[in-house]
């Protein structure tokens, strides 16, 4: 006999990037990859781009050291059940959830992630800011190349902390349907997979993007991807700029702002919405 568990959840999204939030404060119900895939299935489950499990950081094996500054840990899983270092849209939704249910009482706090601790600020207009840290783009002997159909572009490799391949093109339509994962070569540049961003310039410090997320597919938005795009855009468009800059990044699901300070720290600001709550049956 299969035992069925009734599990509470909350559904939320950040610029259309949607998530299933599973509160598990004391780490009593770790999710399997199969359960995550079921939850995220838009026909057989609830539907989402990923799952955010809410756990006290002290219970996250291997990440307990973050508990000194981050009471809660965002245990993020992609829709295919795989683990991810960080999710900018998910972290904003996660922070909004902590506030909505009273797990935090201040507008400024820190959350734990596999990519490190993240400082959060809640704003009165329901937007959320995250200090995403610094981007890393290692020197490579040759720039990776992204191919979709008969189109190929050079890509900028960026980690923040998820891996991204950022490519600039004339029209977002050139990226095609993005039903399948774009081909990225060489494989050795991104051994654990990569998110691929396609970018066009709309104006001064204003760009638009589409993204194919590893383990998910094309999504309406990607927070770490927007940061990677803003970082690469500044160096592509304003290579001699010194000091702070802010880029507006348009995505199919909405817009966010990415600010890079004089020390290279990136701050992501965008909306976060909670839309439903209920219970789901999990085998």
Hey, which residues are catalytic here?
87, 222
Whether 129 contacts 14, CB under 8 Å: no
Residue with tokens 């990136």: 266
Which residue from 126, 196, 127 is spatially nearest to 166, judged by alpha carbons? Answer: 196
Whether 52 contacts 75, CB under 8 Å: yes
Whether 76 contacts 90, CB under 8 Å: yes
- Structure-block tokens of residue 130: 């995250």
User: What gap in Å lies between CA 67 and CA 111, rounded to an integer?
Assistant: 9
Q: In 3-state terms, what secondary structure has residue 93?
A: helix
Percent helix, strand and coil across the chain, each to the nearest 5: 20, 45, 40
- Structure-block tokens of residue 221: 């938005």
């Amino acid at each position: 006999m299969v035992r069925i568990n009734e599990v509470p959840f909350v559904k939320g999204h950040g610029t259309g990037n949607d998530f299933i939030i599973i509160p598990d404060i004391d780490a009593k119900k770790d999710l399997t990859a199969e359960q995550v895939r079921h939850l995220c299935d838009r026909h057989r489950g609830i539907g989402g781009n990923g799952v955010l499990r809410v756990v006290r950081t002290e219970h996250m094996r291997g990440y307990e050291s973050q508990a000194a500054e981050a009471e809660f840990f965002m245990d993020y899983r992609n829709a295919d059940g795989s683990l991810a270092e960080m999710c900018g849209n998910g972290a904003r939704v996660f922070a909004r959830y902590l506030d909505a249910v009273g797990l935090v009482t201040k507008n400024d706090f820190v959350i734990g992630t596999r990519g490190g601790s993240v400082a959060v600020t809640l704003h009165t207009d329901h937007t959320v800011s995250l200090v995403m840290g610094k981007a890393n783009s290692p020197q490579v002997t040759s720039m990776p190349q992204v191919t979709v159909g008969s189109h190929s572009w050079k890509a900028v490799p960026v980690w923040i902390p998820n891996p991204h391949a950022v490519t600039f093109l004339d029209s977002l339509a050139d990226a095609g349907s993005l039903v399948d994962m774009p081909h990225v070569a060489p494989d050795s540049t991104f051994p654990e997979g990569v998110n691929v961003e396609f970018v066009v310039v709309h104006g001064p410090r204003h760009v638009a993007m589409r993204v194919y997320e590893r383990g998910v597919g094309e999504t309406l938005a990607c927070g770490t991807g927007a940061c990677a795009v803003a970082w690469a855009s500044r160096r592509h468009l304003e290579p001699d700029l010194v000091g702070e800059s802010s880029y507006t990044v348009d995505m199919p699901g909405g817009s966010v702002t990415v600010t890079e300070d004089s020390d290279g720290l990136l701050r992501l600001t965008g909306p976060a919405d909670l839309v439903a709550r209920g219970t789901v049956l999990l085998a």
